[in-house]
Structure 1
Amino acid sequence: MRRIIAIIFIVAFGGLISSAQNQSLQYASQYYEIKPDTSFFLAKSVYLKQKDSLSLDRAKSAQILGIMLYQQGAFHKSAAYLLESADIYEKREVLQEYVHSLNWLGAVNQYGKQFELAWQYYDHAFHIANEVGDSSLIAACLGWKGHYYEKISIPDSALVLQKRALHLFELVNDQKGMARIYDNLGSVYEDEGTYDSAYYYFSMSSLLNHRLGNMNSFVVNINNLGDIFRKTEKWNKALIYTDSALRLADRYELVYQKRSAYRDMAKIYSAMGLHEKANEALEAAYDLNARIFEESNARRLTQLQALYEMERKESRILALEREKDQQSFLKMMFVAIIALVLTIAILVVSQQRMRIQKNKQIIKQNKKIHDTRQALTTAELKNALLNEDKLKAELENKALLEKKLREDLVTKSQVLTSHTLQLIRKNNFLENLKDELREIQKADKKDRGQIVRRIVASINQSFTQDEDWKEFQKVFEQIHPEFYTRLQARYPELSSSDLRLCALLKLNLNSTDIATILGISLDSLRVSRYRLRKKLKIENGGSLSATLMES
């Protein structure tokens, strides 16, 4: 429970600290022109409290310090803070603030006459703003670039860029940005002597600044309007506006604007010939200038002393932190060494125990392997004897089977030969029958009956031979089981007559026997063999019998 309460307290306290720092930065950012001393110390205190070198509070406080030091003329320190701010914002990818820091770096270098470097900062900021796609950010960058051209006396480019910036601010209704650009445009037209345009833009800027409550800028606008009337020799209006600026500056304690109003009033009285009043206004301006100078020197001295003290304290804190870190490091190293020694000792003891256990296991496993090998050797010997007996039996069975197959083959060959001879005899019988029929045609009527009876007897005898060809095919297929199947698969166009001729050629019979079996002449057999060669696609010079013997 105590831990939970402690955690809640730490979180709440941390939140309060963070909120206080944010409020300090917000105040410093808003009032650094009006109350520079307070803003400076607030920003510096937040800056020194940041231990994280990449915290956003450190970046913002560095940015504010850089801007304030720029306004006080401490350009070297200003650039250092602004560079740190830009570096943090770039690494943290807070691109809008990164662009603002780049633009202020451009202003620092521009004031220090480093115009090329200043332009590089302005241009880089402009490219980043375009990548972000924020119209107000792009417009602000255009305003900075236009101000750059104004200060190097290129008014045309300055006006183009300022008007582009104004257009973008108007699109997003950014009145603060519009007020700033109106003032910039008025300044350019005033330098060019185009007082009507200058009056219009200063007036527009004053209206927006008054609406926004930006009194410092509002007083500047009123003073600028008085200056326009002075330059156009409208003395009464010039006095009215300048006196209004003086009263507002006095009310809001804007010492710099009060000094500017006295100076402009002295110029107006001098132009009107009221030299006594001009001297009074000029003396008031001198008094304010001396006061400002004294206060500025005192403030600068105080700030420098504060900077020195803060930097000295920061250095002391860093030294103490380094010393503390070193002591912590040494303690950690000591603890780490002890832990390492203990770990090594534990590992050595553990490895020794593991080695002993492993050796015991190895001995046990070796014994087990030895016993297993002996058992396997005995079993393998028995299996070898059994396999030898089995192999002998298989060889004997194989020899008997081969003997039987050879005997069957001889028997079937004899049967096939017998059937072949029967076919030959049958066909010879038919040839004889044909001859006897011719004799009937030639014989006398009294002899015809005897010839017919002889023919009938011969036919009856041949009835027993009708099944010879079927038996022949049956036996042939037993001896050559896949002959017909292979032929028909390769040559499906073969007829039954072609298959018979192929079977007889497979038996390697001579042409006379084949012709007798098929009941055709030798000439017809030659024609059949020729047709068969074509169907089997045998080239000239190829052997038909050899092809069928290989099938």
Structure 2
Amino acid sequence: MPFHRNKYRGVRAAGKGKPIDDSIDFVRFPTVFANVRLLLSKKKMMKKQMLVFALAGAFIAFTACRRTAEDPSSPTAGWENRGTDKTLKALNRECRTLYEADRTDSAFTIYSRIFRNFPASPAGNRDSLRAETGIALQYFYNSSYYENKEEVFKQITDSLAHTRHPYLTGPCLHYLTAYRCLATRFTGDGDSEALLREAASLPPAGDATQEMIFAHLVARTLQRYSRPAEQYIPMQQRAVRAFRAGGQFEDPTDILSQMGYFYNRTGQYEKGAECLQEGVDYLRSHPGYKKIGAIYLYGDLSNLYARLGMSDKALEANASAIQASRERNGLLLTDLFRMRGNLFDELGQTDSALVCFEEALRAAAAIADKARAESLADGIRSDRAIFMVDHSERFPGALPEAIALLQKSCADTLRDTTTEQFMLGLAFAKNGDPGKGIPMMEEAAREFAAQQFDENLDHAYGELMKMYASQGLNDKLATLFPHFIALRDSVRKEDKIRATIAANIRYETGRKEQENRVLTAEVALKERSLVYMHIILILAGCLLAGAVAYLFQRRRMHREEQEMHRRQLNGLLSAQQELNRRNEQLSFELEQAVHNETIDHVRQKLDPTLLSGEDEKRFRQSFAALYPRYLPGLRARCAELTKSDELLCMLIHLNQNTDEIALALGISRASVNSGRSRIRKKFGLRKEESLEAYLENVD
């Protein structure tokens, strides 16, 4: 069974619902009074005064919401006072919020007021104003549809058109005409036909977006009301050209899928496949795309593949459509599982087909609108009944149930039930009542012939011939056989043509898939290279950060070590100098004493002390740690220096003056000066050269 597209494309699948605004996920929130009822149910012991307050608060909140449009600071008042693109944009934003809160009645009221008093020359940016006007018309129509007030929408927009509103029939004429077409039920009356002719005669709009939306909606309307393909296909082609020229649409795949669907309806399978493949390419280049057009796109593609006998591809596309449907909360999921069941039936996989019918029933049961859920379930049961009749040899006990379900389906006068009528007759015949069943089959076969459904007619003739043969109706068998042979030849020719087309499409599809695989591999390689590069950069950054941290830590430790050695040097020098200074002080005090012998004895005890061997060792170690290259450089300049000379040079390098050096080494100042002269001679310094400066430059 072919994929069923909704009669009203762009309408919620569950119940009559809202027209699909694919930029909005409609969410139902409880009303204020529902909240009050919930409060009462949870807290039955609430005092009467609290109940009064709650109801009063609810009434105030409800009144405030209803009076929003009267608020002079609201977007509605702003639009009526100033009429600019910015105020209309704010208005559309407010109505989107109303949609999200399931308050389409308020949105309809606002838009009715706005379009009844639409300014003749609204101000602002022309492109932005034109785009916002198109959005406003879309919301206005959607809310009128949801509230069953399409007639009011039609009256308002017809009045604007007939009075030649300067702006709406000027820069926005195509928008206005497109939505007037959607709201008009083409019954063949003069007004409907006039509007249809007006829409078909309009030249392309000045901007690509308006042209695309106009042509797309008008083409949908023409096809919906069974106008010839020569009218709706060129119109949809205009929409596709506008889309490719840069037109902006919330669901581009819907443009391409509708074009592919139209081509497939008229047997232009290769063009249809090309359009649908373009839509698939768009989806692949936009990961995360979750619009309804993706469901239609894959559904149409699956239907095309099934039509061409490409069952494997049909199942793949159907699986993609189901995935897209699940991402849209199961929209059209029942139709997709019904189609999947029929695909498995054609492949002879009856168990899988039954599973799909059960999945379709579960999807229908999940729909909130119980009336629509039951209607969809009836359709699924009808499909399953047809399946049972086709496979009656496997399910012989199911024929009575199938007959009951098919009788219920045939009672539906709002749709074509020729297939159900034929299968009902076949079920009667197989269940032992050929006298009742065969006439029903013959009547349905005549209807197939009138409708020129050759494939259905071929199947009907085949079943009738089997039944004639089983009942011994040789005259009818002989009469039908030539027609069956002629039809079978025609069907086989069509099958060969479709097989050729299928081969071309399979080749092109395979080539495209190979290109996509190559492109995907290249992208994956680039992504992996980018990932590896990022990893390398991160690791390099970590190594660099570690190295920097190590260097900083090493430098800090080195500074601490130098500071420790510097303190150690200063401590040694200070202690030695303090000791020798104390000795000098005591010697001076003893000189004041009377007894010379005692003085001499004590003075011998208080002679200035030299650096001990252990202290000198620690001094040299600390100095070498602070200035590791100094002593080697000093010795390189003069190998004749003694250890005493080196000590004197180190102290001079530490900026010690003569007194401090004398105290540190425990020698007289004269001895220090004598040592300095000795060192100058060893270095060969002239009289005018400074020993301090020379020693300072030693590496």
TM-score bucket of the superposed structures, by smaller chain: 0.3 to 0.5
The structure that is helix-richer by fraction is 1
> With structure 2 as the length reference, what TM-score do the two structures score?
0.35
TM-score, normalising length: structure 1? 0.43
Larger RCO (alpha carbons 8 Å, 6+ apart): 2
